[in-house]
Amino acid sequence: MKVTIVDYNSGNISSVINSFEEVAKDKVNIEVTSDLGKIKSSDKLVLPGQGSFKSCVDALNNIDGLTETLNEFAINNEKPLLGICVGLQMFADIGYEETETKGLGWISGKVSKIDNQGGKFKLPHIGWNQVNFVKDSKIFKNIENNSHMYFVHSYEFIPEDKNVISATTDYCSNLVCSVEKDNIFGTQFHPEKSDKMGLKIIDNFINL
């Protein structure tokens, strides 16, 4: 089996690569590439994201055919895909960071700045916070509810269909921090920076 981490210059993805390789050991082939042929032939994809919504979308669009290949993989062929941080946010129709930017449109919704209640809460929301599971998710198998995960974000994904939400975290309000829709999974938090529980999420995804 081959799990591919999509490399599209979205910032530092070395921690994502290291965590997946640590979990996979020699049992699963972890590849890091922007090669469209290699992405198409993968069994599972990981879409990391670091930076602004606009910079990540622009970076995807700068690689000819990449967005179409991702659509084919996740939507047409319905293969498992995990989006992390801005990788999850790009599932939305539209994002409002820097400027209004069109997302991948896989899960209807928008990405807006967290309402920090007039400065009562610091932005970015950074550090460890509890994750509350609101529905059974395959990637949370054998993980205790209210486990702590590591966050760094100032924007939140607000899906139109609340049924896709698999977990929330309490900061300013109930923020969506994980979604699941068929073969598409996403976490706002960073599993690769979330110690043993994060590695378990990666393991669950690899073993889907």
| Active centre residues (catalytic) | 85, 190, 192
Residue 6 near residue 39 (C-beta atoms within 8 A): yes
Residue 85 near residue 188 (C-beta atoms within 8 A): yes
Residue 8 near residue 46 (C-beta atoms within 8 A): no
DSSP alpha helix (H) spans, 25-85: 36-40, 53-61, 66-71
Strand order in the sheet with 94-95: 101-102, 94-95, 109-113, 155-159
Distances (CA, A) of 15 to 11, 108, 205: 11, 29, 17
